[in-house]
């Protein structure tokens, strides 16, 4: 038979409850399965790039010298700013500040669009120099890695615009809206972190 003392939560119980509350799973299991799978695929391509680089180091260095480091660096800053604005948007949405969240999301979409424009200009420069994905092994990987990433950004920007518009129109934000927003934000952060690796690997390492 339990006594009154047994039912009083102890300090230890409270600590355990606090700890459980602190642990929050951003997004759901399915989005994480997709993100980690995508990240693992990119890792394989990174390793393949490094492996082929071992055999043709001079060719890779000469080809790397033709890339525009300035455009790549500006794009890195664009994606970092964009990711930060998505964090701000999510925080605002959790507090119910729909308009603020909407403007932050629109800013993030603007930086994402900037990335797409600069990357398109870079591809056009390469095309003008008669460089394509069959030019040499370096460019095979350059177009695979940056192309797949570009494709991710092209999917992500309309998603951010959709969130910005729906947040602007919504009068109150439900928990489901926040959950959806979390999943979209996770996807966009993954796009950012993949570029953080692609840029030094393809453009910078000597």
Partner 1 sequence: MLISIFSWVVGINHGMLFEKAFLESAAILILAFFKVRLVIMHFMEVGHAPTTLKLSCEAWVFVSCIGLIIMTGGQFQA
Provide, rounded to whole angstroms, the least separation between the CB of residue 139 and partner 1: 18
Binding status of residue 189 toward partner 1 by CB under 8 A? yes
Whether 26 contacts 186, CB under 8 Å: yes
Radius of gyration of the chain (CA): 22
- Looking at 115, 142, 150, 203, which residue binds partner 1 (CB under 8 A)? 203
Binding status of residue 16 toward partner 1 by CB under 8 A? no
Q: Judged by CB under 8 A, which stretch of 42-50, 98-106, 140-148, 172-180 contacts partner 1?
A: 42-50
Residues from 78 through 107 that contact partner 1 (CB under 8 A): 80, 83-84, 86-87
Side-chain half-sphere exposure of 23, counting CA atoms within 13 A: 5
Binding status of residue 25 toward partner 1 by CB under 8 A? yes
189 Cβ contact list (under 8 Å, min separation 6): 83, 86
Side-chain half-sphere exposure of 86, counting CA atoms within 13 A: 30
- Looking at 6, 9, 51, 172, which residue binds partner 1 (CB under 8 A)? 51
Please give the Cα distance from 127 to 129 (Å, whole number): 5
Number of residues forming the site for partner 1 (CB under 8 A): 42
Using a 10 angstrom Cβ sphere, with 0-12 exposed, 13-18 middle and 19 or more buried, the burial of residue 37 is: exposed
Which residues make up the interface to partner 1 (CB under 8 A)?
Answer: 22-26, 32, 36, 39-40, 43, 46-47, 50-51, 53-54, 57, 69-70, 73, 76-77, 80, 83-84, 86-87, 185-186, 189-190, 192-193, 196-197, 199-201, 203-206
């Amino acid at each position: 038979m339990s006594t009154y003392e047994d039912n009083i939560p102890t300090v230890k119980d409270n600590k355990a409850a606090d700890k459980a509350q602190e642990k929050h799973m951003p997004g759901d299991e399915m989005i994480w399965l997709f993100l980690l799978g995508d990240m693992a695929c990119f890792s394989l391509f990174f390793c393949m790039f490094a492996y082929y680089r071992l055999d043709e180091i001079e060719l890779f260095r000469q080809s790397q010298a033709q890339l525009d480091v300035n455009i790549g660096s500006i794009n890195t800053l664009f994606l970092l700013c964009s990711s930060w604005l998505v964090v701000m948007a999510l925080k605002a949405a959790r507090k119910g500040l729909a308009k603020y969240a909407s403007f932050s999301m629109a800013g993030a979409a603007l930086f994402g669009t900037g990335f797409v424009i600069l990357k398109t200009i870079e591809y056009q420069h390469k095309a003008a120099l008669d460089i394509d994905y069959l030019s040499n092994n370096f460019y095979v990987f350059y177009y695979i890695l940056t192309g797949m990433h570009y494709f991710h950004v092209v999917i992500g920007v309309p998603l951010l615009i959709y969130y910005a518009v729906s947040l602007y129109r919504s009068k109150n934000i439900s928990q489901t809206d926040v959950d959806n927003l979390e999943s979209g934000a996770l996807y966009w952060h993954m796009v950012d972190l993949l570029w953080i690796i692609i840029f030094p690997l393809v453009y910078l390492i000597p």
